[in-house]
Amino acid sequence: MSGTPSAQYSIVLRVEIDHRPGALGEVASAIGHAGGVIGDVALVSVTGDTLIRDITVSAGGEDAWGAISDAITERAGARVLALTDRTFQVHEGGKLETTPKHPLKTRDDLAMAYTPGVARVCLAIADDVALSHDLTLRKNTVAVITDGTAVLGLGDIGPEASMPVMEGKCVLFKEFGDVDAFPLALSTKDTDEIVAICKAVAPTFGGINLEDISAPRCFEIEERLKAELDIPVFHDDQHGTAIVTLAALINACKITDRRLEDVKVLVTGLGAAGIAVTKILLSAGVTDVIGADSKGIVSTKRADYLDGTMNSVKRWYAEMSNPEHLTGHPGDHLAGRDLFIGLSGARIFPAEKLAAMNPDAMVFAMANPNPEVSPEEAAPYARIIATGRSDYPNQINNVLAFPGIFRGALDARAQQITEGMKIAAAHAIADLVAPEDLREDHIIPSVFDRDVAPAVAAAVAAEALAAAGV
């Protein structure tokens, strides 16, 4: 079934139309009747009694394209000559390329950029390896590394299929943080091999962004690399989500007149993001958290904790949360909670369950594409609602964090991205919503706010330098 027309399902229709008054209007009417939304209309050529036009149309799904094409033929008497999928067109040949920073136009240019002049630079780095951060692309380059096991909402689709997402991540790094990034999709799921590969390529990069690696391996990989490398290592699925969630909560608390220390939280979904969100909330001062995975509320009294089959990360979670040892379905434990954070899946409980939450409830339902509870259904029970989607207010999106995080870390030449740097980033994001602009449907900046990355970078760099005693 087709949904709301969206750019992700936009097409270009090359249409042959009669050269007469009203003909284009008939085509437009046919497209609208079939559920399409017209964007650009361009004249390609005029031939005798006909015109050829390229018409950009947004549709609700691939299944709608045939209906739109048929409607043009049947209702307008025009002829569709070609149909181009615009999303696939954007990805044709990939979304990245390498371009030189200095042109090579003369022999002198070549002598300095390459042989013989480059030898002097190589020897300088050989004498002092730290110069590689100044005299090579390390100064501004991050590796985006994945094994393709947890790609968006698609799951384990493999390294090759993950590449369009990794390329997109690199585009975001450049567009929002002016950080050069390069994707490395690895054909292994072995934790030891991934760690070894990251260590082997580290001399090329100023930082490593781990991406779309499934839990619980992602936790071990990040921790080992942080301990064994002297460049920042950051798993964005964990910490990017956590930082932006904390930023949203800081501002939501301002509106609802709460202190972080008093907020009672329920988290569903204890994968990479759920664990990291909980950790940053605890670091920021929240003290009362309960969490649930697919088996229900996590507790030291749960059977898999008692028999030792619960993994180490969730064992930590059980030990630091849920002092009352609650058990069962998360929807049955919303009573007395101030904040629900969903990082799990669609419709895990009826929206009516939210009525048990405290007054001025906050609901961050972040599953994509379908949240745990829809904003429309949550509205009667919650004062503040956030999602991970761009078509609702208060989008909690990692792009608000990671470009600025790495920009600041690279600028300060930080060796790690610390908890203090993450919390500083969250406050920087929250502070970009001015007090006079803060309201229930505006607790977080837009992902297109160009002030975000510089503000985050400045806060992260300042925290890094302060921690280093600079």
Residues 177, 238: contact at Cβ < 8 Å?
no
For this structure, is 305 an active site residue?
no
Beta carbons within 8 Å of 56's beta carbon, 6+ residues apart: 10, 11, 12, 38, 39, 40, 41, 86
Q: Where are the beta strands (DSSP E) in 302-361?
A: 339-342
Q: Where are the beta strands (DSSP E) in 139-219?
A: 141-146, 180-185, 207-210
- Positive/negative CA dihedral, 369, 373, 376, 382: negative
Query: Rounded CA gap, 108 and 43, in Å?
Result: 48
In the chain, the amino acid numbered 373 is V
Beta carbons within 8 Å of 445's beta carbon, 6+ residues apart: 400, 429, 432, 433, 451, 452
Q: Where are the beta strands (DSSP E) in 133-205?
A: 141-146, 180-185
Residues 321, 303: contact at Cβ < 8 Å?
no
For this structure, is 114 an active site residue?
yes
In the chain, the amino acid numbered 327 is T
Query: Rounded CA gap, 382 and 362, in Å?
Result: 6
User: Among 9, 95, 101, 169, which one carries the catalytic annotation?
Assistant: 169
User: Among 95, 105, 114, 139, which one carries the catalytic annotation?
Assistant: 114
Residues with a catalytic annotation lie at 114, 169
